[in-house]
Chains A and B, each alone.
Chain A
Amino acid sequence: MANNSVNNDKILKVFSNIRCLNRDQLPRYLDGRLTDVEKHLVEQHLVDCDLCNEALHILEQSQYRDKYQSLSISIQQYIRNSIKQVSHVQKAERYQRKEQKKESLLIYFWVVAAIALAAGGIYLVQQESRFKAQAPKPLASTGDLKAIPASSTQSIAAKQDTVKVVPVVPPPPPPPVVVKEKVVIPVAKKDSLKVKDTLKVKTAPVTKPVVKTDTAVKKTPAAVKPPEDKKDDSDTKKTPVPKDNPPIKKEEPKTVAKDKDDDDKKPVTKVTAPAETTSTDEFLYKAAMVYHQQGDLNEAISRYKHLAASNSRYGELARYQLAVCYRSKGQTGKARRMFKEVVDMNGSMKDKAQAALDNL
C-alpha cells in the first residue's frame, strides 16, 4: 500500500507544475552547484519550458555569461524604479480620489439637505397661506347664510371684493355698492336706497325718485324690520356679529332714519355731494366691520382709526367700534377713553357709550 502511494506520487509528478528558474538557480544550474533533488526539479521544469531552456543554452556561452549579471541587475533596478514611481503616483491618486469622493458626497449631502429644507419651507408657507385663506371663508359664509339665506354665494363674493378693493381705491364704484347692499345687513339696505336715489336723480325727473324713496322707505319695514324692532333685528344677526356689535346695529337704523328724513326735506340734487362722502365712509366702515366680524381686530382697529377722524356719523360709529375692539382686546384704558370720546361727541351713540363705560 505504501509502495503503491509512492508510485502514485511519482506518476503524478509528471504533471506537477513547477515555476521557472529564479535568478539564483540559473547560474547555479550552469555551474552544477544544485543538489540532486533541486536539479531534478529544474530538469522537470525544463521539459516544458522553452524560455528557461533557451536562457540556459545562451548563458552556457561565456561571452554572454559575463554581461548577464550586470544586465540582469540593471533591468531589475529599472523595473523596481518604475514600480516605485508608479506606486507613489498611484497612492497619491488613490488618496486624491478618496478625498474627492468624500468631498463630492458631502456636497451632495448638503445640496440634498438644502433642497429638502427649501421644499419643506415652501410647503409650510403654502400650507400656512392656504390655511389663512381658507379660515375666514367659512365664518363669512355662515354669517351670510344665516342672515340672508337666499343669496349667500353672491354676497360672499361681493363682501370679499369690497374688502379687497376698499383700502386701495377709496371712492367705490356705485354698482358694486348696490349689489353688496342688496345682500348684507339691513342698515346697508337702507343706505343703498339713498344711493339708488342719487343714481336715479341723474337720469330721471325729480318727482319720480321722491316717490320711489317713499316706496322704498315703505318697503324697508317689510323687508328689514324698522329701528323700533331693534331686538328682533339683533336676534336675526346673532351669528355673524360678535356680542359687542348689537348696539351699533341698533343705532345705525336711527341715523339712517334721520338721514332719510333729511333727504325727504332737502331737494334731491343737493343730497348727491354729501352722499358720496358718506358712501365712502360707509364703505370703509363696512369693510372694517367685516374684519371685525372675522375676528381680525388689529386690521379692524386700523380701519376704524381711519374712519374716526371723519366728521360724519361714521366717525362716531367708528370710535364706538374702536372702543369695542379695545375692550375685546383687553385694553380697557383705551376702550374707556374711546367711549368717553363718543359720550363727549354727544351723538346718537352717547347712551350706549355711557352704558358701556358704566359696565367697564
Chain B
Amino acid sequence: MDKMPRWADVALIPFINLVLALAVSALVVLYIGESPVEALQVMIRGSVGSAYGWGFTLYYATNFIFTGLGVAVAFHARMFNIGGEGQAALGGLGVAMVSLYIPWPHWSLALLGATIGAAIFGAAWAAIPAYLQAKRGSHIVITTIMFNFIASALLVYLLVNVFRVPGNMAPETARFAEGARLPNAYDVAPWLGFSRSTPLNVSFFVAVAACIGVWLMIWRTRLGYEIRAYGFSEPGAVYAGINPVRIIMISMLVSGGLSGLMAINSVMGEAERLVIDPVQGAGFVGIAVALMGRSHPVGVFLAALLFGMLYQGGAELEFEMPAVSREMLLVIQALVILFTGALDNMVRTPVARVFLSLRRERA
C-alpha cells in the first residue's frame, strides 16, 4: 500500500510546505515592522493582478520551466545536475552566435535555429561532467557546480574580448538584427492588455512544448523507460542490459540542453543581446522547481509559475514597501526553496502518518 493518496503527494504537501514558508516569511516581515497581510497582498497583486504583472510572472516562469525540466530529467536518472546556471549561460552563447552570425529572414526560423543552438551548447556544457561521472566516477554535483564558474568566466572573457561592440563600454554583444527578435506578448495578443515592452514572448510556447516533450520522453519512450529504470536501480539496469554510461550521457545531454533553452527566452526574447549574466540565478531556482514539482512536467510547470509569482511579486514588494530590501526578498525566496525542496521530508513524514491513522480508523 502506498502511504498516502496521490493528490496528497502532488498537491497537499507542496501546499503545506508553501504555507510554512510564507508563515516564516511573515515573521520576518513582522520583525521589520510591516504588515505581512499587506505584503502578501502587494505580492499577489503585483504578480497576477494585472496584465503587466502577468507579463513578468510568465516571463520568469518560462525561465524556470526550462531549468526546472533540465534538473527534473537528470533527477529521473538519479543525477543531481546543479549546473543549470552554467548550461543556460552557454545556451545564451549558442543563441547569440546563431542570432548574430546568420541573417535570418523571419523570427520563426531564427527561433528554430536558436533553439537548436541553445540546446547544443547547453548539452555540450553538460557533456564533460557527464562523461567524467559515467567513465571516471567524478561526482556530478561537484563537477557541474565547478562548470558554473568556468561558464561564467568564459562568458566574461568572450563578451569583453570577442563580442563587445567597439566603442561600447558594456561587455555585451550587439543587438540582434530584426529577423532574430522574437515577438512578445504585445505583438502576439495586444488585446490582452500587455504593454509594448512586456518581456513575455513566444518562448513561453516553446516551454510548454518542452513540458509535453519531456513527459512523452520520460513516460512513453524506451529511452525514458531506461532512464527511469537506471534512476531507480543501477544494478537492475545492468541486469536488464541497460548501459549506465549511455544513460548518464543521454540524460545529462538532454538535461543540459533543456537548461540551455532558457536562453532563448532571456537572451533572444527579452534582452535581444547577450549580456554578462543572462541566467540571473534561474539555474538554481530550477533545482527548487524540480524538487517541488516532483520531477513531473506538470509539477514543474506549476512550481515555475509559483516562483515566477515570487520573483515578480517580490520586485513589486520592494518597490511599494521601501522597508523590504532586496536582501529581505532573497530571504523570502530562500525560505520557499528551503521548505519546498530541502525540508520536504519534515512535512511528508507526519502527513503520511496522519493518512495511515485515518485509513486505519476507516478500516
Do A and B share a complex? no
**Interface residues of A, Cβ cutoff 8 Å to B:** none
**Interface residues of B, Cβ cutoff 8 Å to A:** none
